[in-house]
Structure 1
Amino acid sequence: MILAVLFANTDGNILIERFHGVPAEERLHWRSFLVKLGADNLKGAKNEELFVASHKSVYIVYTVLGNVCIYVVGKDEYDELALAEVIFVITSTMKDVCGKLPTERLFLDKYGKICLCLDEIVWTGMLENSDKDRVRKVIRLKPPTEA
């Protein structure tokens, strides 16, 4: 199960978070743990360079893309390799939505579309769509046509 997907700026402020199966009282712990992990390791990292960690029998894969840090936490069948695939889909979709490497401002300007993409990629703790072209088609915000 994918327990969490978090997006934060380089200062450690959370931009988007999605938790699945994580009790509310544990979420603050995960937020602070992930932000500290990123602060310790992502300084000077190249875009889309993957970092891996484990904590309390869960796996964490994280990276930086522009000015946005991305964290994906999973357990059981979502080990480092599966999470690497999830984060690859997320980063490639974000680049498509933003048109370039996202700054915090560009990320917030595209916030709604990024949330839609994220919901199409990860749904209730499972990888739903791994094809960025399919995600792009599904999230088109067009009104239904009348027949």
Structure 2
Amino acid sequence: MLLAVLFTNSEGNILVERFNGVPAEERLHWRSFLVKLGSENLKGVKNEELLVACHKSVYIVYTKLGDVSIYVVGKDEYDELSCRTKMKRVYDLVSEAIFVITSALKDVCGKPPTERLFLDKYGKICLCLDEIVWTGLLENIDKDRIKRLVRLKPPTDF
């Protein structure tokens, strides 16, 4: 399950956030934790270079694309016996999600986004994010399908 997807600018201000299954009282903790994590580790990182962290039994995969930092947090319930297998599966899910999100972001913006370009394309970015992640599940990973779905045309026009 994907618990959170956050986009921040280079100063750490949140541009878009989506939480799934995270209680409201814990969201502030996650916001501040992720921003601090990025401010410490994303300096000097190349575009789309993935960084991974593990915190409180969740995986966090984060990267930088232009002036925007992207964080994806994923979790799976597991017992001690199957811990390694399920955590590997969570890591794969979160990594795939961030790959699809960065790919869609590049398609929408046409290049690695500045903060201004990101905000200009805000509506379409949110539509893409809704098509990729739905209620914590990775819904669509096909780039062409996501493009068709965010065109907002009836399905018969494909």
| In structure 2, C-alpha distance between the alignment counterparts of 1:40 and 1:132, rounded to whole Å | 31
Offset of residue 79 of structure 1: 1.7
Q: Structure 2: how far apart are the matches of 1:54 and 1:18?
A: 19
**Residue of structure 1 in register with 2:123 after alignment:** 112
Corresponding position of 2:22: 22
Distance 1:89 1:144, change over 3 A: closer
Greater fraction helix: 2
* 4+ residue runs over 6 A deviation: none
Deviation at 1:70, TM superposition (A): 0.2
* 1-structure distance, mates of 2:127, 2:14: 17
The 5-angstrom pairing of residues 1-147 of structure 1 reads 1-76=1-76, 79-142=90-153
Letter of the aligned partner of 2:29 in structure 1?
Answer: H
1:142 CA displacement: 3.4
C-alpha separation in 1, matches of 2:91 and 2:17: 20
Q: TM-score, normalised by structure 1?
A: 0.95
Percentage of pairs with the same residue: 77
Equivalenced residues, count: 145
Give the Cα separation in 2 of the matches to 1:102 and 1:125: 25
Cα distance in 1 between the residues matched to 2:150 and 2:48: 24
Paired with 2:93 and 2:18, the residues of 1 have a C-alpha distance of 18
| Cα distance between partner residues in 1 of 2:146 and 2:116 | 23
Distance 2:142 2:19 in 1: 22
Any gaps of 5 or more consecutive residues in structure 1? none
> What is the identity, as a one-letter code, of the residue corresponding to 1:138?
L
Q: Residue by residue, what CA displacement relative to the aligned partner does 1:76-127 show, whole Å, maximum 9, x if unpaired?
A: 1562221111000000000000011100000000000000000000000000
